[in-house]
Amino acid sequence: EKELEKIFDAKLDNQNDPSNNGSNSVPAIQAQLKASESQATGQIESGVATKRTGEAVQAGERLMEAIDLANEELEKFEHYERQLEEAEAKLDSKTKEERKVLKASGGTPEPLLPKPQANLILLGRTPIQHIVYTLLSIKPNEMEEALMIQPFGYASRLFQLLLLIVKDPTQQHMHVEVAIKCSISLLRIHFKQIVATHSLNETLLELRSLMRERLYDYQSLIGTNMAALKFVKQRVIASTAGNI
């Protein structure tokens, strides 16, 4: 994990340096990952727990079901959006203008296609919210084992969903923190497969960049809150001293 951290840090720190001549490209990072695999793999595998409890196995199965459901719902609504775009493209110019004027005046044009019904299992949650809900329902001491149960195919799909969680600005800090922890654990568990395959490189690079941005934002927020608390403390001490 530390070796991978160094590689990504080097990539992000030098991404604006024109003298790198493409060293920040995905193939270059792949070469770095392969070069460090022999040293990092032993440390990674030695640090991964192997004990699996019944509750952890059940948590892992629930997570796999949530991944299947979330992907199914996302694909369903993506297909609906594509059909909607095709239907709008087939409209004549007069109808398009009428719908545009109606939207501008605050009205709601008649839908061209019926919106698909969300799965009742989601209980009104979006697919991403359902993944967050499932992750939060897993006990912290069982999270590592639940992630170990995930086959690489499910882990790859989970990386995509975790990226959407980190991307979503409406997610609470705690939710993003859980997504980041899961990403790091999955990266450690499936390090060999990730190095051997190239399908997740772009996803991991984007996830890495977004993780750093969100963590820097939280660091600034915590610093601001600490400064505010110190100011309030000083005012309280000054007010107490004045009363005495």
Look up residue 191 and give its two tokens. Answer: 């390090």
Distance CA 135, CA 54 (A): 17
pLDDT at residue 186, rounded to an integer:
92
Question: For 21-80, what is each residue's pLDDT tens digit?
Answer: 444 455 555 555 555 554 444 444 434 444 567 888 899 999 999 999 999 999 999 998
pLDDT above 70 (res 7):
no
Look up residue 223 and give its two tokens. Answer: 């610093």
pLDDT at residue 105, rounded to an integer:
80
Per-residue HEC secondary structure of the chain comes to: CHHHHHHHHHHHHCCCCHHHCCCCCHHHHHHHHHHHHHHHHHHHHHHCCCCCCHHHHHHHHHHHHHHHHHHHHHHHHHHHHHHHHHHHHCCCHHHHHHHHHHHHCCCCCCCCCCCCCCCHHHCCCCHHHHHHHHHHHCCHHHHHHHHHCCCHHHHHHHHHHHHHHHHCCCCCHHHHHHHHHHHHHHHHHCHHHHHHCCCCHHHHHHHHHHHHHHHHHHHHHHHHHHHHHHHHHHHHHHHHHHHC
Distance CA 186, CA 66 (A): 16
For the full predicted model, state whether its pTM sits above 0.75.
no
- When the pLDDT of each residue in the chain is averaged and rounded to a whole number, the result is 79
Q: Which of 62, 189, 72, 196 is nearest to 134 (CA)?
A: 62
